[in-house]
Amino acid sequence: MTQKPYHHDPKGGFRNPEGSPNLRIRKRRLLRFIYRQMRNKELPDVPDGHVLDSAAVDAGILAGGNPSVTWLGHAAFIVRTGGKVILTDPYLTECAGPAMMGPKRYVPAALKAEELPKADVLLVSHNHYDHLDARALAAYPHKEHTQVIVPLGLASFFTRRGFRKVVEMDWWESWSEDGLTITTLPAVHSSGRGVHDQKRTLWASFGIRTAEENIWFSGDTANGEIFKEIGRHHAPFDLAIVGIGAYEPREIMKMVHATPEDAVEIARAIGAKRALGMHWGTVLLTPEDPFEAPHRFRQAAIDQGYGEENALILRIGETRSLNEPAGA
């Protein structure tokens, strides 16, 4: 009998890589935090220019060409590389929760679901509501044509909603077609859309490789030793798209979300030449100032010798050509 990998929990479901940070907090404290966040209706002041208007979004996508990345908000991106179009975690609707309950966006997505381009590949890192958006997926107009790649346990979510080409993969497995290789890689996080399905489906990050670029998309993750292993097997990466927000209080979030300082450490560990911060400035998930993350991210790049010019920040809707030199 073949022994299953460590992240396949012998009790059922999945668990984080061996040596990952553990969540040690009283259940009452966790429930109090969740209740407080759900009741929080105070939206932050959004800086001018944080969200581009539709004309600027369209112009940027056109000018950015291939290769480029376009930030739609939170963890949603259009990645163009090797002549392919890849969508990541398209949370685009108002509420990150069931039946319009849960955290609310305080800025709109750069594109509505029905405005999304026809993607060659759709990547979804895990099933939390701010990454797996059922309403956006229902409205996506290219279900028959787009190859969906998801971690273990999520294929049926897509086939039930009309997607024709769906592959689910375990960590370290790869899919290739026409010069594009997607590798499902570890992350330090969790999964679940309700009380009774916690950690029943897998969570992941993704490697996106073409002849021209090698890009890593973190999904949701905390820091951990596993990223050195990803670096040993898959470095160098031209770009790491990595979460930098939703990190307080640390006693709770340290197991599931990176700080901006962690994000730079992760980018360095996997051997990424540049890092692009995401998972901030979109939806009110946690109590820290939602606009402090970019400043800490750039400062961490300085402090860790990574180079401030290599810690990239976009406005929602902005497109960055990957041919632009660092610091441009």
The full DSSP string for 222-233 is: ---THHHHHHHH
Does any domain span residue 6? Answer: no
What pLDDT does residue 325 have?
76
The average pLDDT across 75-94 equals: 98
Q: How far is CA 300 from CA 188, 255, 292, 305, in A?
A: 21, 20, 12, 8
Instruction: Read off the pLDDT band of 111 (50, 70, 90).
Output: very high
Does any domain span residue 5? Answer: no
The average pLDDT across 253-273 equals: 97
For 288, phi and psi rounded to 5 degrees?
A: -70, 165
What pLDDT does residue 33 have?
60
What pLDDT does residue 100 have?
78
235, pLDDT greater than 90: yes
pLDDT digits (tens, 9 = 90+) for 238-250: 999 999 999 999 9
Instruction: Read off the pLDDT band of 101 (50, 70, 90).
Output: confident
The average pLDDT across 40-54 equals: 89
Helix (H) or strand (E) holding 35: helix 27-39
Alpha helices by DSSP H, 73-204: 134-139, 155-159
Structural domain range at position 219: 52-313
Does any domain span residue 322? Answer: no
Beta bridge partners, 119, equal: none
* Percent of the chain's residues with pLDDT above 90: 87
CATH of the domain at 103: 3.60.15.10
What pLDDT does residue 328 have?
63
Task: Return d(Cα 78, Cα 38) in angstroms, integer.
Answer: 30
The mean predicted confidence, pLDDT, of the chain is 94
Does any domain span residue 286? Answer: yes
* pLDDT-wise least confident of 38-47, 121-130, 195-204: 38-47
Structure-token match 């975690």, residue found: 89
Dihedral sign of CA atoms 150, 256, 264, 69 in order: positive
Instruction: Read off the pLDDT band of 3 (50, 70, 90).
Output: confident
What pLDDT does residue 32 have?
59
Instruction: Read off the pLDDT band of 30 (50, 70, 90).
Output: low
Does any domain span residue 19? Answer: no
Q: How far is CA 173 from CA 87, 88, 181, 207, in A?
A: 19, 18, 10, 10
Dihedral sign of CA atoms 21, 27, 30, 31 in order: positive
Does any domain span residue 323? Answer: no
The average pLDDT across 290-319 equals: 98
Give CA angle at 37 (32, 40), nearest 5°. Answer: 125
Does any domain span residue 38? Answer: no
Does any domain span residue 225? Answer: yes
86, pLDDT greater than 80: yes
The model's pTM is: 0.95
Task: Return d(Cα 14, Cα 11) in angstroms, integer.
Answer: 9
Total domains, the chain: 1
Which has more confidence, 3 or 121?
A: 121
* pLDDT-wise least confident of 1-5, 40-44, 172-176: 40-44
